[in-house]
Every structure is written in C-alpha cells, then in structure tokens.
Amino acid sequence: MKVQKIKKLLLKTGLFEDNQYLDRYLALVTSQTMANIYTEKHHIIPVAVYKIINNYKTRAEAEKSANADKNNILVSLTYRDHCLAHCLLYFCTIGKLKQASARTV
C-alpha cells in the first residue's frame, strides 16, 4: 500500500495530526527490514483506533477488528524500530488516541 493512501486513511479517522512525526512514522513502517534479524509485528493503523472508533470494551475485540481490516497491514519491525514507531505515534495522535499511545509505549 502506498504511503499517501495510508496517510489518508489515518487522517480520515480524525485521531492523527498531519505533522512531521506522522511522516516519520509512515516512512518507518513502510520501509523494508533486513532478513535474518529479530522482528516484531506492528499494525500500521493502531489497534487503539479500532477500540476508540467502535467503542470496544476489550483490546481483544479491537485487535480482531484490526486484523480483519484489509487496509491495516501488519509489518515486521526490529525491536528498536517498533519502540520508535510507538514513540512517533504519540507525537502524531490527538485526543483519546494520544492517551492510548502513551500507555502502550
């Protein structure tokens, strides 16, 4: 999926700011990682977005919805890049999602 399409999807939720941190986040999660190193799975559209938008009570419900969404790609990130992705999310989100991002880092 192209970066601009992902950016448009994120901004459409009303939970993201269009700023340099969002651009850095998208560059990070859409870059290729090297083979044969430890990686972790990361949803490009945070699971918390689904929890907030759909008023789910549990993270499990939101994660099921996130996994079912064809627009929500799972990417492999190194441990360092995964931590960095969550830090960047904090600086490009607003409202309830910013609070959720602060708790997941």
pLDDT digits (tens, 9 = 90+) for 64-83: 999 999 888 899 999 999 99
Per-residue model confidence as pLDDT tens digits over 17-47? 999 999 999 999 988 766 678 889 999 999 9
Look at residue 96 and tell me whether its pLDDT is greater than 60: yes
Please classify residue 68 by burial: count the beta carbons closer than 10 Å to its beta carbon, then call 0-12 exposed, 13-18 middle and 19+ buried.
exposed
- pLDDT at position 37 is 85
Residue 93 pairs in a beta bridge with: 16
Q: What is the rounded average pLDDT for all residues in the chain?
A: 88
- pLDDT at position 97 is 85
